[in-house]
Structure 1
Amino acid sequence: MKRVLEICANSVQSARAAQTGGAQRIELCQNLEQGGITPSHGLIQRVQEALSIPAFVLIRPRPGSFCYDADEQAIMLADITACRNLGCAGVVLGALDAAGQVDVACCQMLMAAAGSMQVTFHRAFDACADQALALETIIALGCHRLLTSGGQPSAVAGQEQLALLVRQAAGRISIMPGAGITPNNIRPLAEYTGATEFHTSAKRQVVSTAAAVPTEFDTTLPVSDATIVAELVAQLHF
């Protein structure tokens, strides 16, 4: 059985570490501390130049809720177009309505802009009250995979729901567990849920080496670690 590891990378360094460690794909974003937002055009371009594995780009204009107004939707459309023009393999998107269900009209517009790129529906799904209904909506939209923790703070805590989602999907879409996945839990999580794709940042905190960093700023940076990535890959090959 082929299993895929996707690394959530927040920099060129993290993207390179993901590839070196043997990951099959990255999700590129920035501002991981608040759940991630769309990376800069320059970062996307540089990662595209540096990597040979596919890069999926997070399309999220701001932290917070997943209910977007017209201006935010226009920004998302522009970002998707930029990703398509840069030759990205895929985008990661999602939007909810005021009732907390999938915003079909917004997502259809974003999907159309994505064109031939692969599309992952992100963890906005975890905020949906009726996940069974939301999954059917996401499948109908034509998304290729769903990133989710099963509505829990971590994929391990949500593993029962993840297993239910895998069974409901029945091969129509890939259910990709994410949140809190480590080399110690990825194998039992794969065995329990039946999922074949997994998402994690494999990060460690690195202290900035800048010569003069003002003390009021945080000098640590989360960076994906190639050794951790390799350990995750090894655990998936069983």
Structure 2
Amino acid sequence: MESTNFSFSARKKPVLEVCVDSILSAVAAEKGGAQRVELCSGLSEGGLTPSYGLIKIVRKSINIGLHVLIRPRRGDFLYSELEVEIMKRDIEVAKELGADGVVVGALKPDGQVDVELMQSFMAVAKPLSVTFHRAFDVTPDPYKALNDLIELNVDRLLTSGQQGTALEGAALISELIERAGNNLTVMPGSGVNERNMQELLKLTGATELHTSARKKIASDMLFRRDNLPMAGMQQLSEYESLVADEQKITTICRLAEAEI
């Protein structure tokens, strides 16, 4: 299906969700104008469940929506019984600490949505909002997966349209949004930034967007050992970190509003 340029005349300002893995980023997201954060740890691993302390302090520090990622490890989305126990307890913790929603996904060995397991996760999460994350992007049949999520009454789907970036997957995202109708919110994510979000909105008609909008910052450490990395796969030095950029978020919000 070809993507369509959507009219924004009757639309509200899109909801912006910022993926964050630190208190600094969560506060920047709110200051920048985001309506919600997806809180996780280990963004270099694709995102993992954040700690109890991080969830608690973020909830205390921001007044916008807080959704917590439930993912016990990197890699695929086929989970063992013990991992399922961990995930259920993490959902309970997120709920106890005042999260507004959880972000979770699970697949069967054949790549299909694990409907039964998702039902059990949603039962634990109730009444929180539930987003099915980008496990969707490695399912073999996106239309069947979408139907499964609609039948589950999942609130939201985060997807790149089964491509490396949401802009590359815009055609599928547009079709998913049309098929989902009012049954489920389809939220584009992956590679969304201030340079492409207007085009993405036009191509898909999305009402929510997911971005990390990060910048690199230097550590305040004075004494350093640059030849002693702590991480196995080094993307940054031990004296650098990536945090949400308040200015980028402000720009994205302003550009989104300009498209209404």
TM-score range, shorter chain: over 0.9
Q: Name the larger-Rg structure.
A: 2
Deviations, residues 150-205 of structure 1 (Å, cap 9, x unaligned): 00000011001111111111121000000001111101111110111000001011
Query: Are 1:156 and 2:167 an aligned pair?
Result: yes
* Partner residue in 1 for 2:121: 110
**Secondary structure, aligned partner of 1:8:** strand
1:40-189 to 2 correspondence within 5 Å?
A: 40-189=51-200
Choose which of 181, 192, 202 in structure 1 pairs with 2:213. Answer: 202
Query: Are 1:235 and 2:255 an aligned pair?
Result: yes
Q: Give the whole-Å Cα distance in 2 for the aligned partners of 1:228 and 1:66.
A: 31
Q: Give the whole-Å Cα distance in 2 for the aligned partners of 1:11 and 1:213.
A: 22
* Partner residue in 2 for 1:19: 30
Q: Give the whole-Å Cα distance in 1 for the aligned partners of 2:98 and 2:86.
A: 19
- What is the CA-CA distance between 1:209 and the residue it aligns to? 1.6
Q: Give the whole-Å Cα distance in 2 for the aligned partners of 1:226 and 1:169.
A: 32
Q: Give the whole-Å Cα distance in 1 for the aligned partners of 2:119 and 2:88.
A: 11
- What is the CA-CA distance between 1:51 and the residue it aligns to? 0.3
TM-score, normalization: structure 1? Answer: 0.98
Q: Give the whole-Å Cα distance in 2 for the aligned partners of 1:18 and 1:114.
A: 25
Gaps of 5+ in 2: 1-10, 230-236
Residue identity matched to 1:52: N
Q: Give the whole-Å Cα distance in 1 for the aligned partners of 2:103 and 2:225.
A: 35
- What is the CA-CA distance between 1:82 and the residue it aligns to? 0.3
Q: Give the whole-Å Cα distance in 1 for the aligned partners of 2:19 and 2:207.
A: 17
Q: Give the whole-Å Cα distance in 1 for the aligned partners of 2:44 and 2:197.
A: 22
TM-score, normalization: structure 2? Answer: 0.90
- What is the CA-CA distance between 1:214 and the residue it aligns to? 3.1
User: Contact conserved, 2:153 with 2:183, CA < 8 A, in 1?
Assistant: no
- What is the CA-CA distance between 1:34 and the residue it aligns to? 1.2
Query: Are 1:193 and 2:183 an aligned pair?
Result: no
**Secondary structure, aligned partner of 1:96:** coil
Query: Are 1:221 and 2:241 an aligned pair?
Result: yes
- What is the CA-CA distance between 1:140 and the residue it aligns to? 1.1
Gaps of 5+ in 1: none
Residue identity matched to 1:27: E
| 1:192–1:42 distance in 2 versus 1, CA, 3 Å | same
- Give identity over the alignment, percent: 43
- What is the CA-CA distance between 1:73 and the residue it aligns to? 0.5
